[in-house]
Chains A and B, each alone.
Chain A
Amino acid sequence: MAISVDHFGRTYATATGTFTAVDDLSFEVATGEIVGLIGPNGAGKTTTLRSLAGILRPSSGHVRIDTHDLVGDPLEAKRRLAFMPDEPHLFEYLTVEEHLRLVARLYTVDDFDGRARALLDELELTGKEKSLPGELSRGMRQKVVIACGLVRNATTLLFDEPLTGLDPIGIRRMRETIVARAKAGAAILLSSHLLHLVQEVCTRVIIMDRGKKIADGTFDELASRADLATAGSSLEQIFMRVTGHD
């Protein structure tokens, strides 16, 4: 399995004690699979993704990327990962091209120039190579983050709200890119509130609420579940039923 999450939990220390953001979460994502991670605000999606990316340390359980434990063998695990966060955090004094070069150096990318050029074309960033993030729109900055994630051959892609700030053409391109990467053999975990995107792109869906996994399966599997059979014919209706908002 490309991603293996085993009894993962994450707590935060607060002024009044501790807060459990994610509790006993287990799931797997195989190569070529696109798994949608959905849930209401505060469900623990971003905490899960950030922990999978190596930003947060799990409080309990294990996260493995291509069998490499993220805590025990972080460098090998991170080499296989690409995380595209919802907020484009870029170095304000590095140009678009320099960001790609930096990533290429960190992850040892062969044929950097060719890959970078193709990617800049694909994401419509051609002509912006010498621009600093401050000179770009939010959507453009989001594309740079995605380009940094895709410039290397990561086997595992983590997307947190990948369409935020993109224009309709960008959204369409992004959808095609995600599907193409999965077909090329990447394991993809995608968190989004855009349920129609999840339904359209993902091969499987995990629904979280208040830090726990409350549903996991393909859309057909969820739709045929006894307790959800009457919910309706869309992911949105299933989501509302599962989270108790219908």
Chain B
Amino acid sequence: MFAASFYIIVCSFRNRLWVRLRRLRQPRYLLGAIAGIAYFYFTVFARLRGGRTANPRLRGGGPSVPAPTTQAMLMAGGLQVAGLALLVLAALAWVFPAKSSLLEFTEPEMQFLFPAPVSRRALLVYRILRSQIGLLFAAAVSALFVPSANIAARLRFAASMWVLFVTIRLYFAGVTLARARLAGSTGAARRLAWAPLAVIVAALGIVGTALVRVFMTHRMDGINDVLAGLGTALGAGWPQLILLPFVALARPQLTAGLAPFLAALAGSASVMVAVTLWVLRSDAAFQDAAVASAERRAERKASGGSAPKARATGWTLALSGPAENVFLWKNAMQMLRHTSGLTLFRYVVPLVLAAAGLTTAMMSGDRGRGGAAAFCLMAIGIAGFAALLGPQIVRTDLRDDLRHLEVLKTWPLRPAAVIRGEMLWNGLLITGIVWIALICAAIFSAAAFPRLSMLWRLSLALTALLLAPALVFGQLTVHNATAVLFPAWVPLGNARPRGLDMMGQRLLMLAGVLITLAVFMLPGVIVGGALWFAFSRFIGAAVLVPGAAICLGIVAIEVLAITEALGPAYERLDLTGIERAE
């Protein structure tokens, strides 16, 4: 089975590489590859080279040396913090019902390997081997970001990260298998399955108690105190013993010098071996878990993602009305039924982080204080994020519907109506979010911008409210025009093609969209600007509002004209000749 495993892995890797190289004959992949390589070079290698010449300490070739206090702090509490984080991660693996990707067999793997005379353990080993390419790549990438110019230090870091990644991957697989056995048929099987969970819970209890005891009895006045407290709580007795395997996994990353590193790596590797043995001993539950996983995967594939459930929305499509409204309703149904708590989490977290970052920056710049000011700045951040990145992120329009093109093209509708209709739901939704955020910001603007007069704040708010739909629909027009004119550049549905060339393609697309958007907005901005220079001395900031209204009007005309002009291209649109990335 080892030979067969290596054969599949090597052949698949070689053929994937060959396919990716061969597709470079097509200009879009070649351009993407050039852009991807350039991006990679300038963001990683050039930065490293610049850092090496700029930092004389790094030029010496040794590992980066933190300031003495930081180093002391890290050595005192850093290892314990890392060990504690890994313990919490290990506990969370039992709480969250995520399935290990190690058990995700592909359909061909199921078809060829499961009926073959191969033991379950061998299949598990095959999956472990198969996952190594991805893990090695992840470890190598993580080493690129180490603040050190020393290649040996980078290699050491990559090796330690590889051990950590493999252990985590295996541990998650072990948890998935153990979870499947929690309701085992015999008492002995159940006890065996519950044992690791009981150990983790007990470990958390002991460590948690030690932490609470220290933090309740000592006053913490800064990060140094916190790290020292962690060192006290976790550096002795049972907590130290419990965290031993977790600290062992984190130690190589924080160890400088070859000999200490090798000793630390040996400790880390022994934990990896222990976890591997635990997983291999769980192979009895392996096949059931793997089959269940493959079935879920097949179901997801058949339904184009997670299997949706029909939800009553109380919005029935009227049997007559403008064609655009059909798409408004259809896309609204799709989004409302597709959106789950997890999806919202995926979008809300970056939104809140971006807004919080902007708020912090603006508050520290303006020395703003107070909850109202923070709320206002946060709302501005959300509005800006939604207006600028919303149309890029939310793809419930022609970009998503290209996979249904064969159905759309049989409908007796004008192409311009189809394109406009496809943009309508996205545009209204994003504009709505931006408006709500802007209104919140306007209400609390006095606290955040006390130096601005009421007229200025009101004018700016109204201007932003008017410009928001222009910006949103302008971007959506560019994205949907791209889908019509360059469908090969648009990933179908939820597909996220991989590869350096695909990364480059995405970067080029983003640059193209931004440039086109700038051109799109230019006439409106020029007219608005002219209005400002002509009338601002008479009516002050209030002139911004008619300027924005004119800009919005011009963009609306442009959107109508462009969607009409795209009609012939939509009629010619044919996806059959497009070779998609794998």
Contact = CB atoms under 8 A, between A and B. Distances in A.
Interface of A: 12-15, 50, 53-57, 71, 74-76, 78-79, 81, 83, 85, 89, 91-95, 98, 101-102, 104-109, 112, 130-135
Contacts of A109: 319
Given A89-B406, A130-B310, A134-B308, A106 B413 contact: yes
Interface residues on B, range: 35 or more
A54 B407 CA distance: 10
A55 B407 CA distance: 8
User: Shortest 6 CB-CB distances between A and B: which pairs?
Assistant: A134-B303, A78-B412, A93-B334, A93-B337, A79-B412, A75-B412
A100 B316 CA distance: 12
B295 to A, nearest CB: 14
A81 B326 CA distance: 19
Most buried by B among A85, A98, A133: A98
A56 B573 CA distance: 8
Contacts of A101: 316-317, 319
7 contacts: A12-B577, A15-B25, A85-B406, A91-B407, A92-B334, A105-B319, A109-B319
Contacts of B572: 57
B496 interface: no
Contacts of B316: 101
A14 B578 CA distance: 9
A174 B310 CA distance: 28
B302 interface: yes
B572 to A, nearest CB: 6
A132 B310 contact: yes
B330 A91 contact: yes
Contacts of A15: 25-26, 579
Given A53-B410, A76-B412, A91-B330, 20 more contacts: A15-B25, A15-B26, A50-B406, A53-B409, A57-B572, A74-B412, A75-B412, A91-B334, A93-B308, A93-B334, A94-B330, A98-B317, A98-B333, A101-B319, A102-B326, A104-B319, A105-B319, A106-B323, A106-B412, A132-B308
B581 to A, nearest CB: 15
A13 B577 CA distance: 6
A95 B329 CA distance: 13
Contact of A91 (B302, B404, B411, B413): B404
A55 B334 contact: no
A149 to B, nearest CB: 9
B574 A92 contact: no
A95 B310 contact: yes
Nearest to B337: A93
Interface in B285-310: 299, 302-305, 307-310
Interface string B405-436: 11101111110000000000000000000000
Most buried by B among A12, A53, A81, A134: A134
Nearest to B573: A57
B319 A112 contact: yes
Contacts of B303: 92, 133-134
A101 B302 CA distance: 24
A75 B410 CA distance: 9
B308 A74 contact: no
B320 interface: yes
B310 A55 contact: no
A209 B404 CA distance: 29
Contacts of B99: none
Contacts of B576: 12, 56
A130 B571 CA distance: 33
A54 B410 contact: yes
Contacts of A98: 317, 333
B308 A92 contact: yes
A81 B410 contact: yes
A92 B310 contact: no
Contacts of B318: 105
A55 B337 contact: no
B338 interface: yes
A135 B574 CA distance: 30
Nearest to B326: A105
Contacts of B323: 106
